Amino acid sequence: MRSVATLHVTGLAKSHGADVLFRDVSFRVPPGQRLALVGRNGSGKTTLLRILAGEVGSDGGEIGFPRSGRIALHDQRPPRTAGKSLAEYVGESLADVHAAEARLAKLEQRMADGDHGAATMQAYATAQAGLEQAGGYQWRSRLESILRGLGFSNADADRDLGTFSGGELTRASLARALAMRPELLLLDEPTNHLDLQSLEWLERELQTLDTSIVLVSHDRWFLESVATGVVELELGRARVFEGRYSDYRREKALAIAQQAEAFERQQVELERLQRFVDKWRAGTRSRQARSVAKRLDRVELVDRPRQQRALAFGFPKTVRPGRDVLEVTDARVVAGDKLLLERASFAIERGQRVALIGPNGAGKTSLVESLLGRRTLAAGRVRIGHNVTPAYFTQHEEELPPNATVLEATCAATPLNQGQARTLLGRFLFSGEMADRKVSVLSGGERRRLSLLRLVASGANFLVLDEPTNHLDVESREALEEAIDAYDGTVLMVSHDRALIDAVATHTLALEDHDLTMRPGDYNDYVLALGDAATQAPPPPPAVRAKRAPKVKATVEAKVATKREAPQRVRRKLTELERRISELEIEKLRLESELADPAVIADYELLGAVGGKHRAAQEELAWLYREWESVAESAGV
């Protein structure tokens, strides 16, 4: 295994003008650790990666990493190098390998010409060791493996970069970073533009690399599978969490609950002391009042937990359609001279949530646009059911008027008046002056939110969603899951977000080998149906809010019924939480009674054991109360 250095980051700070992006960011990445940078969009994750890569300067702090250590950054800026093939572009990162091979070739020629002196033989042994250190003779097969893993064909290797799409160029950038075998690998949204097969390949690849990794991703399944530690950027500050992504989510939720409890407890005490000061300031106990006032001035205040607003929305009630929402018969889809689909037939019924999955380039978006009449089928028939009103959420943003304000774009696409539109915009985090900004200046994530808002207000009973979670942060993705779960209409969605598919899908519709296969169940059921246990994905990380009941094998009807019975599940969840809270309250009272027992107080070991149990009960109660509030709020209790 190569020698990989530890990355030390100490007191890093960065501002944009008067706006502080982050300050006093400190963490370390030991050899082989895979650290996830998490935080809301705009918290500075990409900027931090570029500072680590040396592309952007910081306003303070230090970065400790050997000068000789190779650093590779993959971000969302696709390469613009035309006139080079894919293989040439990716292979440019292997300059040390090429140099080592050139040295060996030169020495081999000298040896072939009869030079077998000790110096030449020693130089040859050194060159061989250098090539091995740089990647060995296997670098070509490794390069081919990386390109295949990221969805490129053998023919793509010789194609000019100028012929690739934006998504393909982004994957080429990722291939180049992986091929370099750096000591420090920096990845900004590496899962973008990857299909499910490539996602799972990348997870396995990163798990086996002897490289320190710092990555940014909103894919919860990917984070749970890959990350071994978390640095959270929030409100300009950084916090480090050890362990997996799910451990971070649980620890953060518990910390927020404990801080809220400590804040509320301190506020009650401060109010009590202040009342004493106010009452006796000029009375017979004025000396004590002054003493208490001085104590109040010296109190170190507990901060109120600062939770940024999450995207919160739901869909309105829809008109009930007929049972058959969409029926497709013998569909043939082509793109230019390329056949995408041949004689495909399927049907979607009322209330189903169908995830359309398949490799990149298979034709998922082309199929969706054909179903909605935006493209013409080469053959076959599509029938939209009785009373069905579809709404399409596209990957692209051309439907948003760039010269309009956010408010104008909302009113133009919905029946809302300005007051109603402003209220809805506030729920989508477009409050105050944000509503009067031009659409043209919005970020990618803000555009996605605005498109979602227009969809929400449409009242459609058949949602067709093409990669709806692109550019959404984790909290917004979870809000979307909850909204779809509570939606009373029918959904067809194209997505590579395995957590979303697993959370809401009742069926998967797989586009495979120019054909479509409808299967009951979510993503795990799809993987099991393929019978490929070796590539079975891990379960999604447990959420820190209301958790859905574990899924079990079921018939199609039972699966659909389970999805429709979300309110019943919520009520059962509340009942279970209340039962557990009641049990823990009784247990806490019993432990408090023990803590007051003179026999326990006299036994230090017993006192410590009982005290530990009491603290554990308090922590679990704080967690349960927090979860109860979250579930109750989502249910409107």
Q: At residue 620, does pLDDT exceed 80?
A: no
Q: What percent of the chain has pLDDT over 90?
A: 26
Which CA distances in Å does 47 have to 51, 53, 56, 185?
6, 10, 7, 15
Q: Is residue 424 within 8 Å of residue 456, measured between CB atoms?
A: yes
CATH of 568-635, one of 1.20.120, 3.30.70, 1.10.3470, 1.10.287: 1.10.287
Pairwise CA distance, residues 9 & 22, whole Å: 13
213-237 average pLDDT score: 91
494-505 pLDDT, tens digit per residue, is 998 998 998 899
187-210 pLDDT, tens digit per residue, is 999 998 888 889 999 999 999 888
Pairwise CA distance, residues 481 & 516, whole Å: 25
| Per-residue confidence (pLDDT) for residue 524, from 0 to 100 | 83
User: Quick one: tokens of 238?
Assistant: 């950084």
Q: At residue 245, does pLDDT exceed 50?
A: yes
Number of neighbouring beta carbons within 10 Å of residue 308: 11
Place of tokens 């909204």: 483
Burial class (CB within 10 angstroms; exposed 0-12, middle 13-18, buried 19+) of 618: middle
pLDDT range class, residue 89, cuts 50, 70, 90: confident
Q: Which residues of 392-402 are buried (b: 16+ CB within 10 A; e: fewer)?
A: bbbeeeeebee
Higher pLDDT, 325 or 439: 325
578-606 average pLDDT score: 72
| Per-residue confidence (pLDDT) for residue 337, from 0 to 100 | 84
| Per-residue confidence (pLDDT) for residue 633, from 0 to 100 | 64
564-585 average pLDDT score: 71
Q: At residue 98, does pLDDT exceed 70?
A: no
In single-letter form, the type of residue at position 131 comes to: L
Q: Is residue 271 within 8 Å of residue 246, measured between CB atoms?
A: no
160-189 pLDDT, tens digit per residue, is 888 888 888 889 999 989 988 888 999 999
pLDDT range class, residue 414, cuts 50, 70, 90: confident
622-635 pLDDT, tens digit per residue, is 677 767 766 776 65
Pairwise CA distance, residues 50 & 46, whole Å: 6
Residue 381 forms beta bridges with which residues?
A: 329
Which CA distances in Å does 79 have to 70, 89, 501?
20, 9, 31
521-540 pLDDT, tens digit per residue, is 888 888 888 765 444 444 44
| Per-residue confidence (pLDDT) for residue 37, from 0 to 100 | 95
Q: At residue 226, does pLDDT exceed 90?
A: yes
Highest-confidence segment of 52-66, 96-110, 605-619: 52-66
434-452 average pLDDT score: 84
Collapsed DSSP state (helix, strand, coil) of residue 253: helix
| Per-residue confidence (pLDDT) for residue 490, from 0 to 100 | 94
Q: At residue 557, does pLDDT exceed 50?
A: no
Whether this prediction's pTM lies above 0.75 is answered by: no
What CATH number belongs to 324-553? 3.40.50.300
Pairwise CA distance, residues 270 & 297, whole Å: 11
Pairwise CA distance, residues 341 & 334, whole Å: 7
Select from 320, 338, 1, 36 the least CA-distant residue to 189.
Answer: 36
Q: At residue 113, does pLDDT exceed 70?
A: yes
| Per-residue confidence (pLDDT) for residue 63, from 0 to 100 | 92
Mean pLDDT rounded to a whole number for the chain: 81
| Per-residue confidence (pLDDT) for residue 331, from 0 to 100 | 92
Q: At residue 211, does pLDDT exceed 80?
A: yes
User: Which are the contacts of 525, defined by CB distance < 8 A and separation ≥ 6?
Assistant: 508, 519, 551, 553
Pairwise CA distance, residues 342 & 316, whole Å: 37
Q: At residue 597, does pLDDT exceed 80?
A: no
Query: Which of 121-135, 375-389, 393-407 comes out lowest in average pLDDT?
Result: 121-135
CATH class assigned to 7-247: alpha beta
| Per-residue confidence (pLDDT) for residue 518, from 0 to 100 | 92
